[in-house]
Amino acid sequence: MSRVPLIETSDASGERQALLTQIHGAFGATPAMFKAVANSTAALKSMWGSFGALGGGIIDAKLGEQIAVAVADRNACEYCLAAHTVLGRKAGATPEELSAAQAGGSSDPKTAAALRFALKLVEARGQVNDADVQAVRDAGFSDEEIVEILAHVALNLFTNYINIAFAVPVDFPAVKLSRAA
């Protein structure tokens, strides 16, 4: 049971209702995570805006979902792992690619470098060094892409923390975590 109410679109008004309606339109349903975040219009606006902005970024959706799966597994967020596994498949990732990403790896060297950097950001709480950033550059990422990788990590930390802290019920097919928190 969620530690905060799950706000239904029909119980919301104004900007909150409009945002929930947009989210419902995008997913064909309103995921429980957004219903939990809807307790704060500002937080909902921030999260939904970040999804939209990064969805229009230069990092493709497949890599964005691989980053999300890696971060979710590292943070033991069952909700995000389940959601981003579904979204990753829709973005063109194979089950094998998502399983590898969940463990922080990829058979593609460039993707592997992005995932190593993303997980270093998580594990070191952002305390990366020149060599960490250079390794991502050396793998072929531009500075714009590197900043977007960090933005994906930051958004996923936000969603992971929402789901873990508020015990949001998982409403996507469950995926087993590969590592303990």
The confidence score (pLDDT) of residue 143 equals 98
For Cα atoms 147, 150, 153, give the angle at the middle one, nearest 5 degrees: 155
Determine the residue type at 176.
K
Q: What is the mean pLDDT of residues 83-107?
A: 98
pLDDT at residue 179 tops 90 = no
pTM recorded for the entire structure = 0.96
pLDDT at residue 161 tops 80 = yes
pLDDT at residue 33 tops 70 = yes
- Superfamily for the 61-165 domain: AhpD-like (1.20.1290.10)
pLDDT at residue 62 tops 80 = yes
pLDDT at residue 155 tops 80 = yes
For Cα atoms 51, 57, 60, give the angle at the middle one, nearest 5 degrees: 95
Burial class (CB in 10 A: 0-12, 13-18, 19+), 10: exposed
pLDDT at residue 180 tops 80 = no
Q: What is the mean pLDDT of residues 99-115?
A: 98
Tell me the pLDDT of the chain averaged across its residues: 97
pLDDT at residue 158 tops 70 = yes
The confidence score (pLDDT) of residue 181 equals 47
Residues of each domain in the chain carrying CATH 1.20.1290.10: 61-165
Q: Which residues, at least 6 apart from 33, have a Cβ–Cβ distance to it below 8 Å?
A: 79, 83, 159, 162, 163, 168
Confidence of residue 27 (pLDDT cuts 50, 70, 90): very high
Q: Whole-angstrom Cα distance, residue 147 to residue 177?
A: 27
